[in-house]
């Protein structure tokens, strides 16, 4: 539930008060995909001013699952496609303008799903991931099947933000057969066990019909203790055969407490889950919920999760977003 969700929530509350064959690595030409926007506010403004932009692909990624991998893909080193899953009231373009090109430049075959564009008047402004999470998980299931068919890969890796980092892909893994088709889920600021929304959850639940009408059903499904959260987490956090990496930020004011994103590994597979707080690795990065996908440190930690050999290639950058976002 990213920046636009936080803004929309505030507005709603205030309104109530007034693969194919592998190729040799040497044959791969290096890619040079560059972000069109270096901040989440820049990308958000672009989609707000021109909602059609919300349906365009971020640099370095395909949104059409039937399109082949972009030039520069290194299937030898990275045989699994990466599917990016945006957060609530966002879209693939404004969520992944930095991470998608970084992955593409590292040789990954990258796809970025747009989903859940139902149930809210904000959909007309390019906001997506507002529909029922169960329906969105079915969209992801269809999308992954098409990516696998297009690329010839056996499995994909999923990388998501907020709803797309936890509740929605985990619904897919648990109830839509995704566990046999996914190797790893990397989640940036997920709300795996719900959120109190910095105390706004009670107000939103108290006016549920208005919340649903303004924001769609997905936001209330993500608050702590919702029936959706209860069903999703019953019986454990993980699915056998899938590896999970959670990257949370202590400056998150949308997913609260931020530790609610952390997952518990099953006793028989303690290595299935890696929980990371961004500031434990890079103390001088104050990125919040909305801008964590734009943090160079979060980008590098994502690359680490997908390929451990990447870990020795980078050092932390000081990140102090301006203005600070929730």
Region 57-73: mean pLDDT is 97
State pLDDT tens for residues 85-119. Answer: 999 999 999 999 999 999 999 999 999 999 999 99
Cα Rg for the chain, rounded, in angstroms? 18
Residue 4 has pLDDT above 60, yes or no: no
**23 lies in a domain?**
no
Residue 7: per-residue pLDDT:
41
**270 lies in a domain?**
yes
**150 lies in a domain?**
yes
State pLDDT tens for residues 123-135. Answer: 999 999 999 999 9
Token digits of residue 302: 């994502």
Distance CA 167, CA 75 (A): 29
Q: What is the span of the domain harbouring residue 84?
A: 3-11+31-69+78-311
Residues 6+ apart with CB under 8 A from 51: 124, 125, 126
**24 lies in a domain?**
no
| Contact status, residue 246 vs residue 263, Cβ threshold 8 Å | yes
State pLDDT tens for residues 40-56. Answer: 999 999 999 988 899 99
**318 lies in a domain?**
no
pTM over 0.85: yes
Residue 313 has pLDDT above 80, yes or no: yes
**302 lies in a domain?**
yes
**18 lies in a domain?**
no
Distance CA 151, CA 305 (A): 22
Q: Which of 162, 31, 57, 172 is nearest to 112 (CA)?
A: 57
Distance CA 243, CA 206 (A): 37
Residue 30: per-residue pLDDT:
67
Strand order in the sheet with 182-188: 110-113, 82-85, 156-161, 182-188, 243-248, 273-277
60: domain CATH number?
A: 3.40.50.1820
Residue 51: per-residue pLDDT:
84
| Contact status, residue 33 vs residue 59, Cβ threshold 8 Å | yes
> What's the structural domain count of the chain?
1
**252 lies in a domain?**
yes
Task: Compare 5 and 174 and report the one with higher pLDDT.
Answer: 174
Residue 29: per-residue pLDDT:
62
């Amino acid at each position: 539930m990213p920046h636009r969700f936080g803004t929309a929530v505030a507005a709603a509350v205030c309104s109530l008060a007034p693969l194919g064959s592998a190729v040799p690595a040497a044959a791969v030409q290096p890619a040079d995909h560059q972000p069109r926007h270096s901040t989440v506010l820049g990308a958000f403004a672009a989609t707000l001013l021109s909602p059609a932009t919300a349906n365009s692909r971020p640099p370095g990624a395909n949104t059409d699952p039937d399109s082949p991998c972009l030039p520069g893909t290194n299937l030898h080193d990275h045989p699994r496609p990466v599917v990016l899953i945006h957060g609530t009231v966002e879209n693939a373009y404004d969520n992944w303008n930095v991470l998608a090109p970084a992955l593409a430049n590292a040789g990954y075959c990258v796809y970025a799903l747009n989903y859940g564009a139902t149930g809210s008047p904000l959909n007309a402004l390019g906001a997506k991931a507002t529909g029922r999470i169960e329906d969105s998980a079915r969209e992801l299931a269809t999308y992954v099947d098409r990516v696998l068919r297009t690329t010839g890969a056996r499995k994909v890796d999923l990388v998501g933000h907020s709803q797309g980092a936890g509740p929605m892909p985990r619904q897919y893994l648990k109830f839509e057969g995704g566990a046999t088709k996914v190797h790893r889920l990397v989640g940036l600021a997920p709300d795996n066990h719900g959120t109190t929304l910095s105390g706004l959850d009670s107000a939103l639940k108290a006016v549920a019909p208005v919340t649903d009408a303004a924001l769609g059903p997905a936001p209330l499904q993500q608050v702590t203790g919702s029936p959706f959260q209860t069903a999703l987490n019953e019986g454990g956090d993980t699915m056998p055969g899938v590896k999970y990496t959670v990257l949370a930020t202590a400056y998150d004011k949308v997913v609260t407490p931020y530790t609610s994103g952390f997952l518990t590994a099953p006793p028989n597979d303690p290595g299935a889950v890696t929980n990371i707080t961004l500031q434990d690795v890079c103390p001088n990065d104050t990125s919040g919920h909305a801008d964590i996908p734009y943090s160079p440190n979060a980008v590098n930690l994502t690359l680490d999760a997908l390929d451990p050999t990447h870990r020795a290639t980078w050092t932390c950058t000081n990140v102090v977003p301006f203005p600070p976002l929730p």
